[in-house]
Amino acid sequence: MRLEGALAAVIGFTGLLGLSFIAGRLGFLSNKKNNTVTNDTRQDDDLPLTKSSYVDLTAAITPDTVVFPGDPIFSTKQICSISDESFFNLSEMCFGNHTGTHIDFPAHVKKGGKVSNDYSIGELIGDGLIVDVPENMDSISRSLIMSQPILKNDFVFFKTRNSSLSKQGEFIEKFVYIEPDAARALLEKKVKIVGMDYISVDDFSSEELPVHNILLSNDVLIVENVELKGVAPGRGKFFVMPLNIPGMDGLPARVVMSR
């Protein structure tokens, strides 16, 4: 009787293993049919994994980062250091809210305008394009805007000869900018965000910032000091991710493009 009981137990256990195997195979086939990628299906040649290409368009922030004349310069101060027998490292950072690659909100030039927390992160993610501006152009004109395949709600970034200028070191006054008529053309195109590859969308000599006012007063946000050197023009998806600080007229942002 003991032998018969042992045999029954073995047979029962073997049956459970068989059922488990069958169920696993059925699950595998179901996942395969529905193109669901699981740990089991990752090795299946019939289900190749696709991966987007991400490009970082953000300039590094250092003590040498170019800022608009008069703006605060980035600096750090060591508060705690492992080298001084502390249990951890900790630093204090000081910089302006328009340092490095950054986004301008309407309150930057408009009294009572929208501020950082008036925009959800979803509004700062969208499709768009990088426009290649000819090297001989000192400014972006209306005719150039109208000749581009810009779509409604696009994020538009301009790659000019500014891209050859370093975002670190000496500030350069003669940079390519957007003409006011070109800004109005961008409004006609109904774009959402306009990006520039140097410190400002406006001419350096223009104290009243007409392009800032035209765009921001119409809820078109501005991203400045974008790093486009070595980045090919064309369409992509853009992610503009400012620091989560409420009530600000502008903030440093990480800007990434996927293609």
- Is pLDDT above 60 for 7? no
Question: Measuring CA to CA, which residue among 100, 131, 108, 130 is closest to residue 225?
Answer: 100
- Is pLDDT above 50 for 245? yes
Domain covering 55-69+97-258, topology: Glucose Oxidase; domain 1 (3.50.30)
Catalytic residue list contains 108: yes
**Residue 181 · residue 211 · CB < 8 Å:** no
Mean pLDDT (whole number) for 105-133: 98
pLDDT-derived band of residue 144, with 50, 70 and 90 as boundaries? very high
- Is pLDDT above 70 for 168? yes
* Residue 245 to residue 222: CA distance in whole angstroms: 17
Catalytic residue among 98, 102, 108, 212: 108
Instruction: Return the percentage of the chain with pLDDT > 90, whole number.
Output: 80
Mean pLDDT (whole number) for 186-208: 97
* Residue 188 to residue 152: CA distance in whole angstroms: 9
Question: Measuring CA to CA, which residue among 173, 174, 146, 176 is closest to residue 159?
Answer: 176
More confident residue, 47 or 199: 199
Instruction: Return the percentage of the chain with pLDDT > 70, whole number.
Output: 80
**pLDDT per residue as tens digits for the range 78-97:** 999 999 999 999 999 999 99
State residue 10's pLDDT score. Answer: 42
Mean pLDDT (whole number) for 188-207: 97
Handedness of CA 158, 164, 166, 170 (dihedral sign): negative
CB neighbours of residue 96 within 10 Å: 16
What pTM was computed for the model? Answer: 0.80
- Range from 11-20, 23-32, 34-43, 167-176 carrying the lowest mean pLDDT: 34-43
More confident residue, 52 or 58: 58
State residue 215's pLDDT score. Answer: 98
Residue by residue, DSSP assigns the chain as -HHHHHHHHHHHHHHHHHHHHHHHHHHHHHHHHTT---TTTTT-TTS------EEE-BPPP-TTB---TTSPPPEEEEEE-GGGT-SS-EEEEE--TT-SSEEE-GGGTSTT---GGGS-GGGGEEEEEEEE--TT-SEE-HHHHHTS-PPTT-EEEEE-GGGGS-SBSS--S---EE-HHHHHHHHHTT-SEEEESSS-SS-TT-TT-HHHHHHHTTT-EEEESB--TTPPPEEEEEEEEE---TT-SEEEEEEEEE-
